[in-house]
Amino acid sequence: MTERNIEKLISEHQILVFIKGEKRQPVCGFSKQVINILNSFNVEYHTVNVLQDLEMRKRIKKYSDWPTIPQIYINGEFIGGVEILSNLYERCELGEILEKALNS
């Protein structure tokens, strides 16, 4: 997995989440929390299971300069991890971000 592969994935999906596990079965609590938040908006999003590719897991952390998984990208922009997504959700800002992204 190269940086170019990561950029391609990010550019191909309006909402992209790097998680541990699968969308239907996340294997860590933080990944599950992100999935639950996004599912509450009933939007389409793509996930990448970093446990299937340990090189991807290392490279995405370096690419984003963010030490943890999950990592959320919306319209090519790195949003952050579970803490930031949760804060945006609690402040009722995430819905606006998603709506703007999906309508662009």
Pairing of strands 15-19, 46-49: parallel
92 is in an annotated binding site: no
Spans of the chain, pLDDT less than 50: none
In 10 A of CB 23, how many CB atoms?
A: 16
CATH code of the region 3-102? 3.40.30.10
pLDDT tens sequence across 38-58: 999 999 999 999 999 989 999
Q: Which of 51, 47, 33 lies closest to 88, judged by CA?
A: 33
* Extents of the domains making up the chain: 3-102
Rounded-to-integer distance, Cα 79 and Cα 28, Å: 19
